[in-house]
Amino acid sequence: MKRKTIALLCALTLAATAPLSLLGCGGCAGNKPQTGQTSDRTGEESAAGEKSALSRGESASLQSLPVRPLENELSPDAQSTYAYLLYTQALLDEDEAALLQAASLLKTSPVPAKVWMEGGVWLMSRKSPNAVILLEQALSVWPEDMSLNLLYAEALLEHGMPERGVELMRAYLQKHPDSLDARLELALLLVKSKQFTEAEKLLNSVTAKQRSPLVDYYHARALIGMERRNEAIPYLQKAIREMPDFVEALAELAFIYEQRGDLREARNVYEKLIKLNFSTQDVALRLVNISLRLKQPEKALQYMRLGPATVPFKLTVASMFMDSRHYLQAESLLKQIVADGGAPGDVYLLLADLAYEQRRDLSMALSWLDKMPSTSKSSGRARLLRAQLLAEAGQNDNALKVVRQGRKDFAEIPDFQEFEIRLLARQKQMTDALKVAREAVKTWPDNTDLAFLLGSLLDETGDKKGAFTVMEGILTSHPDNYQALNYVGYTLAEESRELERAVKLLARANELSPDQAYIVDSLAWALFKSGRLEEALSEIRRAVKLGDQVDPSIWEHYGDIAQRMGLKDEARKAYQKALDLKPANAETLRQRLSTL
């Protein structure tokens, strides 16, 4: 029906511009009554007379009248009208394809810039990439229109082309240096594209009279992006004073307070956001977290009630209580979810874990797992947790039965095979463990955890060459597996071969998993073997400061490195630290210590 509307409007337009020379041709000059004469003939007589006259050639012939030829193309005015009507109808129909087609026709029509803006704003509201196309056409007609330039820059940013938007506004601002709107838009784009330094410089040029809450907000965002959060606080506070419901500024300010440890200030701001109904669930979780950090679990429960009464939300809060070691409140909340009905499987898993970890009540933990519906998506995890709890309780045979049945019932889950391998290895059944590990790697060839476990078993059983081959295979398919990187790098260092490669592998492992004592120790040892003693000493000193319990082998490496560098006091101290941990090679360490 809407297409017919366009056709009708176009027809009316054409009719309005059609030639008028044929209208009313019955009133030709030769047939007008003479002045002062009257006619007493009837209408029929008159008509007959005219017909007779025409037939006798007494009247001017129709062929003598000028006739305007038919037009095959619309006039420019008609084309403009037609394009505008198509454009308007496309907006009414919400038809993007028709809008773009009409826009291509509209480029030659003198329509105002606001007509183009209407289409651009509509496409932007739909987050359509066609906004970029339409606004490009608009700017080909109105290249200096500020509103169109601003909207086009926003469209470029929204659709992954921030640099083009920035360059557009830079060029526009160069032509119009006094345009405050252009300057602010460029600053906004620079902030959104994380070019904070240039954005701050631009915003510093905005005078106090020209400033608005939005300007102060983006100035703060630029400072935050440069890690200058304390400097951002006054700008956010000023923006909020002038616009108390500026929720984005409130959220930024609350987060800054929280990050720097001003928890009570952060809580006050988050409470304002709750009253403004801003992102209620997220803000409620922030308030719960702050209260738990302030050791106020009851206050946290009050804030929880401000959030949605949904199971996922309550489950998240329960996990937060567990992480902060408020186990009684977590358990109470989880039990309430079960009592309400329809609890997801994760609730039973958490309750079982709490029962065993906090009270060592194995029977209660298993009873919670028994309550989980067999149709639950968490059934496989429940079976695995059952095996783990039995193993922790020392019931290894029962755990083995459960995990082997789990392999049959949940063949798609590799965790059962992994746990069986670890359980067998813990019981020193290394032959069986290796057999299951090889089967698992065949079944799950892309599972690097299983492959690493096989390599570790081979290493532990003395097959160093086989272990090294497996670890190299992991690096071939997964070059950023930090555990394999550490194994291969340390092995090369121990064997004093490919030392340059060993250092590179271990440096990469340290990048991927920083501040791991055993990786830093491996790196120090590879540097030591490479003759880079100063670097080795620096790394080994760092290694012994990582973690609460330092492995005796790390202290041993420390002693060896310090001894080589002539630092006898440090070496003596390191060897003694290793001996205090009662290592297997204690006698060797005593001999080294005696030589210092």
pLDDT tens digit at each of 596 positions of the chain: 443 333 333 433 333 333 333 233 333 333 333 444 444 444 444 444 444 444 445 444 545 556 555 455 667 788 888 889 999 999 999 999 999 999 998 888 878 999 999 999 999 999 999 999 999 999 999 999 999 999 999 899 889 898 899 999 899 989 988 888 888 889 888 988 889 999 999 999 888 888 999 999 999 999 999 999 999 999 999 999 999 999 999 999 999 999 999 999 999 999 999 999 999 999 999 999 999 999 999 999 999 999 999 999 999 999 999 999 999 999 999 999 999 988 999 999 999 999 999 989 999 999 999 999 888 999 999 999 999 999 999 999 999 999 999 999 999 999 999 999 999 999 999 999 999 999 999 999 999 999 999 999 999 999 999 999 999 999 999 999 999 999 999 999 999 999 999 999 999 999 999 999 999 999 999 999 999 999 999 999 999 999 888 999 999 999 999 999 999 999 999 999 999 999 999 999 999 988 88
**The model's pTM:** 0.63
Give CA–CA dist 103/194, Å, rounded.
Answer: 34
588 assigned to some structural domain: yes
Domain count, the chain: 1
Q: Is residue 345 part of a domain?
A: no
Angle between helix axes 247-259 and 263-275 (nearest 10 degrees) is 160
CA dihedral (574, 576, 577, 582) in degrees, to 10, reads: 140
pLDDT at 24: 35
**Does residue 585 lie within any of the structural domains?**
yes
Q: CATH no. for residue 505?
A: 1.25.40.10
pLDDT at 354: 94
Close Cβ partners of 210 (under 8 Å, ≥ 6 residues apart)? 180
Please give the pLDDT value at position 67: 53
Residue-by-residue DSSP string for 47-112: HHHHHHHHHTT-SPPGGGS--PPPPSS--HHHHHHHHHHHHHHHHHHT-HHHHHHHHHHHTTS---
Q: What's residue 456's pLDDT?
A: 96
Q: Answer whether 406's CB lies under 8 Å from 383's CB.
A: yes
33 in a domain, yes or no?
no
Residues in Cβ contact with 552 at an 8 Å cutoff, skipping those fewer than 6 apart: 577, 578, 579, 581, 582, 583
Phi and psi dihedrals of 307, rounded to 5? -85, 180
Domain that holds residue 528: 479-594
pLDDT in the model for residue 111: 87
- Distance (Å, whole) CA 315 – CA 344: 9
* pLDDT at site 63: 54
For residues 281 and 310, what is the distance between their CA atoms, to the nearest angstrom? 10
Evaluate whether residue 506 is within a structural domain.
yes
The C-alpha atoms of residue 77 and residue 351 are separated, in whole angstroms, by 77
Q: Considering the domain boundaries, does residue 267 fall inside one?
A: no
The answer to whether residue 511 sits within a structural domain is: yes
